[in-house]
Structure 1
């Protein structure tokens, strides 16, 4: 008897061992200035997570102990939130002007 099990992908999380990975996208301005984002666990708990100013694309923030169980002793993996920085494809005239001003001061 052979049994093949296929696991459907989760709409939010990917799995790496007992750790869960999710992606959150934030605007460029929030990546520069810092912000707070809401993160929900598999159990439905919601946390506000601080994203530090200057966060880089693909940076990971960690929620320790909210991943999958690792065994019968109650230990759990972590949730990692991978940050994606949104760069707008189109800018208004005013936005272009502001971005040019930022470029002039070295940003």
Structure 2
């Protein structure tokens, strides 16, 4: 998706990675692979900015940014063990 000279890339991560943090690999328009640190406690729709990795910004030679939008995956179905783990987390206030 484009927003001015910026590009927006959506990355889906599981609930556990949203809570604990993770590192994601993203690819730029040029095919370059970059590592992005996702902080612990990241929220749904948060945007992580990679400066200068968006679209060319006109005749002055600058570039927009690549924004990585976080989408937290919530599973539709859970195994019995997963349900037990989620109930335990709920008991702990999470």
User: Hey, what's the Cα distance between the residues in 1 that align with 2:77 and 2:60?
Assistant: 52
Q: Can you list the C-alpha shifts for 1:41-83, whole angstroms capped at 9, x where unaligned? A: 0000000100000000000000000111112222110000100
Matched length: 94
The answer to whether residue 49 in structure 2 is matched with residue 44 in structure 1 is no
Alignment equivalent of 1:80, drawn from 67, 75, 90: 67
Q: Which of the two has higher C-alpha Rg?
A: 1
* RMSD of aligned residue pairs (Cα, Å): 0.6
Alignment equivalent of 2:22, drawn from 35, 45, 51: 35
Q: Which has the higher contact order (CA 8 A, sep 6+)?
A: 2
Relative to the length of structure 1, the TM-score reads 0.86
User: Hey, what's the Cα distance between the residues in 1 that align with 2:40 and 2:23?
Assistant: 10
| 2:81 match | 94
Structure 2 gaps, min length 5: none
